[in-house]
Chains A and B, each alone.
Chain A
């Protein structure tokens, strides 16, 4: 950490971690409901739990992304943040929005649109928060007069996320039109501009952790982002197959979404290349684990498992089954959860004023491996459930309810591996809150330290 204003990232990470903990708790509650019967049926039914589970994910990931940007941008532009105060006000407003949304869902205040359940007034708050964020970052870059490719891709990803949120403010009488545009937000986030964010953070971490020449890494970053948009933009079509749009979206979606794994594979090769060049020389081994892990896990979860059911002739049978949950869990975890945890793990020693090599705890490693094992097991459980469901319900034509009864054993596996995963999250939070220490006031010398040339 070279600039004292970077410390604002710590507060963002605290909020992100608290919401992460809450998110996985609601995940466990959801799987309990799959096992049934449900004693909370009227009080806290599945739909509320699921909306909270997914919304907390989106909110805490965005909190992590914004925290990451507040950490990265001053360092890259070599200048203090434009306004630390504004960053804290923004975080306060954002957190208040998140908490209000969750409480609102429990009280059945919802827009009832999948992943965009935020009621209209809260959507406006989200837009305001995004604008505050972009203003603060924009002014910082202006003051620094230096925009690197790495931070450029990260900030462009966040700015585009804000822009693509705007369609969610519109309402359409035709349900088909409204889901058409819902995917502009949801799909173009997670298979478009969020990949820019992931790529930007990944490039930053690889530059820092491997010491490989920035020019080389940034050159290939453009290729990764280019591949993302070639495949991801027209790949939106794989959400359009069966919703009442013209037929040409089927071959189009099949072709372009089959290309989507390329950008994830490129990221995995990218990380592998950087590590081979540099070796594991950086003292923050835990950050290295999360960074490389993210690149590999996202290639599997987002790339390969997405490909598994994206072709129209396959999707015709698997659409709307647990196959989707299989892909979604591993993809979100690999691409976005792990990169944020990597960023936090990397930044933590600097934020808490410790030497980089003092951050290696067995709790931290257990957190990593338990989450790995847990998420891998959950993905397998979802896959087994999804494949069984596809055969029994969709191909043989057995009823939904009877099929679900046959899936009980997979839901048990899901609960068991989910518990492993939650144990890993709990250890990560324990490490973050109790072992890593708290931020200290920066010594004046630290503030004046010049940035490393070429870094």
Chain B
């Protein structure tokens, strides 16, 4: 090949690649609004995006898997933790994690309440982007380090149509993200209390004098805890703040009734 020939190769291949790239970019612009639920981008989400940038979050965390690798991925954090928890966390991360135990701690950013609300709205919007199935298995901030917790559990495909099996899979999926906060190993409180032996614990708790909820039995107690976490609030540094539970309180809307039934059925097997 002559120099003229190789130059022609360079010019032609570059132009062709650029052409295809630009064409696909234009097509992506037509499809991105649908894939990202762009209609939901309101002033609050945009303000939250600005909070995200202003505080340089991307240089410790990843979002959609992009960023730095010094702190957990936040793509699904809004689903896994819920706004009540995130609000308390952002006010003072050292309440939830310790440098001595975890080796890492997020600095206290001193965000205003409005900033926090906006940031949570932004992260909530991100958690609903169609990411082509990424991550293939929920990325957890913490937990599952104890054998028997969630390790080895299949991600999303139930082995049978047994309600208990379906409930187990839902428990370990994000959304709803139950296993991101609750372990099923004895004594392991990730963020929320461990659900090890929850069936026995629940049937005991409904008979206690301190319990003022509506439930009469273990199944009722578990259902009530999922749909209305404030019906009976446990004290604990990462469980509640000011007498209010930090668990998301919208599972009544985000879960289908049969999903709640299945999760309850699964949790009742933990005796």
Number of A-B contacts (CB under 8 A): 239
Contacts of B32 in A (CB 8 A): 174, 176-177, 180, 244-245
Contact B13 A399 (CB under 8 A): no
Contacts of A398 in B (CB 8 A): 140, 143-145, 151
Contact A322 B130 (CB under 8 A): no
Q: Is B220 an interface residue (CB 8 A)?
A: no
Q: Is B269 an interface residue (CB 8 A)?
A: no
Chain B's closest residue to A218 (CB) is: B3
Contact B56 A402 (CB under 8 A): no
Q: How large is the interface on A (under 10, 10 to 19, 20 to 34, 35 or more residues)?
A: 35 or more
Contact A108 B49 (CB under 8 A): no
A247 to B72 CA separation, bound complex (whole angstroms): 26
Q: How many residues of B contact A (CB 8 A)?
A: 84
A408 to B29 CA separation, bound complex (whole angstroms): 43
Q: Contacts A33-B70, A38-B99; is A393 near B10 (CB within 8 Å)?
A: no
Contact B99 A320 (CB under 8 A): no
A174 to B19 CA separation, bound complex (whole angstroms): 25
Which residue in A47, A234, A247 is a CB contact (below 8 Å) of B60? A47
Q: Contacts A46-B60, A114-B67, A320-B67; is A399 near B17 (CB within 8 Å)?
A: no
Contact B59 A47 (CB under 8 A): yes
Classify the interface of chain A: helix, strand, loop or mixed. Answer: helix
A250 to B131 CA separation, bound complex (whole angstroms): 11
Which residue in B20, B41, B54, B100 is a CB contact (below 8 Å) of A112? B54
Provide the B1-33 mask, 1 if CB < 8 A to any CB of A, else 0.
111001101100110011011001101110111
Q: Is A352 an interface residue (CB 8 A)?
A: no
A334 to B33 CA separation, bound complex (whole angstroms): 39
Contact A246 B6 (CB under 8 A): no
Contacts of B122 in A (CB 8 A): 175
Q: Is A369 an interface residue (CB 8 A)?
A: no
A117 to B59 CA separation, bound complex (whole angstroms): 10
One of B102-110, B161-169, B231-239, B257-265 contacting the partner: B102-110
Provide the A77-113 mask, 1 if CB < 8 A to any CB of B, else 0.
0000000000000000000000000000100101111
A220 to B46 CA separation, bound complex (whole angstroms): 48
Which residue in B33, B59, B99, B138 is a CB contact (below 8 Å) of A46? B59
Q: Quote the shortest CB–CB distance from A258 to chain B (angstroms).
A: 15
A285 to B137 CA separation, bound complex (whole angstroms): 52
Q: Is B190 an interface residue (CB 8 A)?
A: yes
Contact B64 A225 (CB under 8 A): no
Provide the A228-247 mask, 1 if CB < 8 A to any CB of B, else 0.
01100110100101111111
Contact A174 B53 (CB under 8 A): no
Contact A320 B73 (CB under 8 A): yes
Contact B35 A244 (CB under 8 A): yes
Which residue in B21, B31, B62, B132 is a CB contact (below 8 Å) of A320? B62
Chain A's closest residue to B16 (CB) is: A230
Q: Is A401 an interface residue (CB 8 A)?
A: yes
A window 107-133: CB within 8 A of B: 108, 110-114, 117
Q: Is A438 an interface residue (CB 8 A)?
A: no
Q: Quote the shortest CB–CB distance from B75 to chain A (angstroms).
A: 8
Q: Is B241 an interface residue (CB 8 A)?
A: no
A35 to B70 CA separation, bound complex (whole angstroms): 11
Q: Quote the shortest CB–CB distance from A241 to chain B (angstroms).
A: 6
A window 176-230: CB within 8 A of B: 176-177, 179-180, 215, 218-220, 222-223, 225-227, 229-230
A41 to B109 CA separation, bound complex (whole angstroms): 11
A42 to B67 CA separation, bound complex (whole angstroms): 20
Q: Quote the shortest CB–CB distance from B31 to chain A (angstroms).
A: 5
Contact B28 A399 (CB under 8 A): no
Contacts of A321 in B (CB 8 A): 69
Q: Is B249 an interface residue (CB 8 A)?
A: no
A230 to B62 CA separation, bound complex (whole angstroms): 29
Name B's A-contacting residues (CB within 8 A). Answer: 1-3, 6-7, 9-10, 13-14, 17-18, 20-21, 24-25, 27-29, 31-33, 35-36, 38, 41, 45-46, 49, 52-60, 62-73, 97, 99-100, 102-105, 107-108, 122, 125-126, 129-145, 150-153, 172, 190
Cβ-closest 6 pairs across A and B:
A320-B65, A112-B53, A47-B59, A242-B134, A36-B103, A226-B10
Apart from the given pairs A47-B58, A226-B6, 4 other A-B contacts in the complex at a CB distance below 8 Å: A51-B59, A246-B28, A393-B139, A398-B145
Name A's B-contacting residues (CB within 8 A). Answer: 33-38, 41-42, 45-48, 50-51, 105, 108, 110-114, 117, 149, 173-177, 179-180, 215, 218-220, 222-223, 225-227, 229-230, 233-234, 236, 239, 241-250, 252, 316-317, 319-322, 324-325, 393-402, 404-405, 408
